[in-house]
């Protein structure tokens, strides 16, 4: 009897097991609508981690065991995103097109820029705790004296006693910053009030031609066109050796001199020093496209142009994007002329009184010297307006472009500017009046 019951139970168990297995198989292979009845359903992400982000606060973020790797395939021009735990795929690999990745990088850089700028301004606007001024009896005893038996002497002094209580703080008259943020500077403008205007160099060059600003930073490439209305200050300029623009591309080109006459090249502005140096090295090149300097790398990467001339921070970042250097235009200038490269200078309208021109020159010189004394500290004004937010890149930029010529051009710097104007005359078949170029 027991044996028969055991066989009956075994048969029932096998039937139930087969039914469960059939149900499981049907669940795994049949697509159906989720029956999750929770108020906030939780589901795993589908798609790439940059585009498909969950807004459900109850979803847990990925564990540190999940390793994400982004690989670029030059054949398909796609970025493949692989997520693994150990050697096993955690999710199905996804991909982004080149354009999608560039848009994501641009949004990410913009977000980081404004986040850092907001953090900088919050620090600048933070209320500073100032020490409370306390007075003690002994202070007045020392001033007015103490009578017999410790009694204070009743003295009625004629005049007054000034007591100065100081605290550690700074003040900067900078109208681009909030009132409380102006207290974090440290340079005395000696009664002058400046209204900073931040624009790319080609815009400033254009405005100089239009005589829009009283004082402006320009490329030396536009100096011949504004020399009749402006003079160059001796301080605040950018000259030097090993600081010139670079000609870059996606791949190495052997016969650069001939190829540049046939391909499209991006130039950072018409009246820029970079354009003049490129024309000096490649006088026959005609297919030029003039872009804002921070758009050139992407133009080369996307194939919009075959090569590009880069300046500023891009000198330090182009290799990270897979671009290669074809030629150092500054090095070519130095070898050909033996002079430092005049990149940019500060000009002031000739119609300004000479004593004001001299005072502005002195203030700019003092400002540069002040920055040198406090270096390698980077001011919040610089970091909040820098295109490239990495402090390492900012310091490389400063180390390369800010030097003794920034404090004072000197005779060597002025001779380099004259040499630059001579080359400009040869390229453009024109004559320039050299008298009165610099402020005195």
Average pLDDT, the chain: 77
Whether residues 220 and 117 share a domain: the answer is: no
Domain boundary among 86, 103, 125: 125
Residue that wins the pLDDT comparison between 217 and 50: 217
pLDDT for position 361: 92
Section 152-172 average pLDDT? 41
CA distances from 92 to 31, 43, 68, 83 (A): 18, 15, 12, 8
Q: Is 16 a residue whose pLDDT tops 60?
A: no
What's the domain count of the chain? 2
pTM (two decimals): 0.55
pLDDT tens-place string over residues 261-303: 889 999 998 888 899 999 999 999 989 999 988 899 999 999 9
Q: Is 61 a residue whose pLDDT tops 80?
A: no
Residue 212: give its domain's CATH number: 3.40.190.10
Q: Is 10 a residue whose pLDDT tops 60?
A: no
Domain with 72 in it = 60-125
pLDDT tens-place string over residues 73-129: 878 888 888 888 988 888 888 888 888 888 877 777 777 776 776 666 666 556 556
Domain boundary among 107, 125, 143: 125
Rounded distance between C-alpha atoms, residue 238 and residue 280, angstroms: 19
Residue 75 placed within a domain: yes
Whether residues 212 and 116 share a domain: the answer is: no
Q: How far is C-alpha 75 from the geometric centre of its chain's CA atoms?
A: 32
**Given 32, 275, 312, 428, which residue is catalytic?**
312
Instruction: Give catalytic status of residue 429 as yes or no.
Output: no
Whether residues 217 and 120 share a domain: the answer is: no
Whether residues 422 and 292 share a domain: the answer is: yes
Whether residues 106 and 222 share a domain: the answer is: no
Whether residues 77 and 205 share a domain: the answer is: no
Domain boundary among 97, 125, 153: 125
| Contact in structure between 204 and 226 (CB atoms under 8 Å) | no
Residue 350 placed within a domain: yes
Whether residues 218 and 87 share a domain: the answer is: no
Residue that wins the pLDDT comparison between 61 and 25: 61
pLDDT for position 11: 45
Q: How far is C-alpha 129 from the geometric centre of its chain's CA atoms?
A: 32
Whether residues 364 and 222 share a domain: the answer is: yes
pLDDT for position 210: 94
CA distances from 367 to 186, 359, 371, 374, 391 (A): 10, 12, 6, 11, 21
């Amino acid at each position: 009897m027991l044996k028969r019951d055991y066989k009956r139970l075994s048969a029932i168990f096998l039937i139930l097991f087969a039914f469960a297995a059939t149900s499981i198989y049907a669940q795994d292979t049949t697509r159906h609508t989720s029956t999750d009845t929770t108020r906030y359903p939780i589901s795993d992400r589908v798609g790439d981690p940059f585009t498909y982000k969950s807004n459900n606060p109850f979803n847990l973020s990925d564990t540190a065991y999940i390793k994400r790797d982004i690989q670029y395939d030059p054949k398909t021009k796609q970025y493949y995103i692989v997520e693994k735990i150990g050697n096993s795929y955690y999710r199905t690999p996804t991909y982004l097109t080149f354009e999608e990745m560039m848009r994501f990088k641009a949004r990410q850089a913009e977000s980081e820029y404004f986040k850092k700028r907001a953090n900088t301004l919050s620090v600048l606007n933070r209320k500073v705790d100032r020490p409370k001024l306390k007075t003690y009896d002994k202070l007045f005893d020392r001033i007015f004296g103490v009578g017999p038996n410790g009694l204070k002497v009743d003295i009625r002094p004629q005049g007054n006693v000034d007591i100065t209580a100081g605290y550690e703080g700074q003040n900067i008259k900078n109208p681009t910053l909030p009132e409380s943020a102006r207290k974090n500077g440290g340079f005395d403008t000696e009664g002058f009030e400046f209204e900073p205007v931040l624009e790319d160099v080609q815009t400033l060059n254009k405005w100089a031609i239009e005589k829009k600003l009283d004082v402006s930073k320009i490329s030396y490439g536009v100096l011949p066109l504004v020399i009749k209305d402006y003079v160059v200050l001796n301080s605040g300029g950018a000259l030097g050796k090993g600081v010139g623009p670079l000609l870059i591309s996606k791949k190495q080109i052997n016969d650069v001199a001939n190829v540049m006459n046939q391909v499209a090249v991006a130039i950072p502005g018409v009246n820029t020093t970079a354009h003049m140096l490129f024309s000096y090295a490649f006088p026959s090149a005609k297919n030029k496209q003039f872009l804002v300097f921070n758009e050139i790398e992407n133009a080369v990467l996307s194939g919009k142009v075959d090569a590009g001339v880069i300046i500023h921070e891009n000198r330090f970042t182009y290799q990270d994007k897979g671009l290669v250097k074809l030629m150092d235009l500054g090095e070519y200038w130095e070898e050909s002329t033996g002079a430092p490269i005049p990149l940019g200078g500060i000009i002031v309208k000739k119609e300004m009184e000479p004593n004001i021109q001299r005072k502005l020159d002195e203030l700019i010189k003092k400002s540069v010297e002040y920055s040198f004394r406090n270096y390698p500290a980077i001011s919040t004004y610089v970091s909040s307006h820098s295109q490239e937010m990495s402090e390492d890149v900012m310091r490389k930029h400063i180390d390369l472009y800010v030097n003794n010529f920034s404090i004072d051009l000197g005779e060597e710097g002025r001779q380099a500017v004259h040499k630059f104007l001579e080359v400009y005359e040869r390229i453009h078949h024109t004559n320039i009046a050299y008298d009165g170029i610099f402020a005195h």
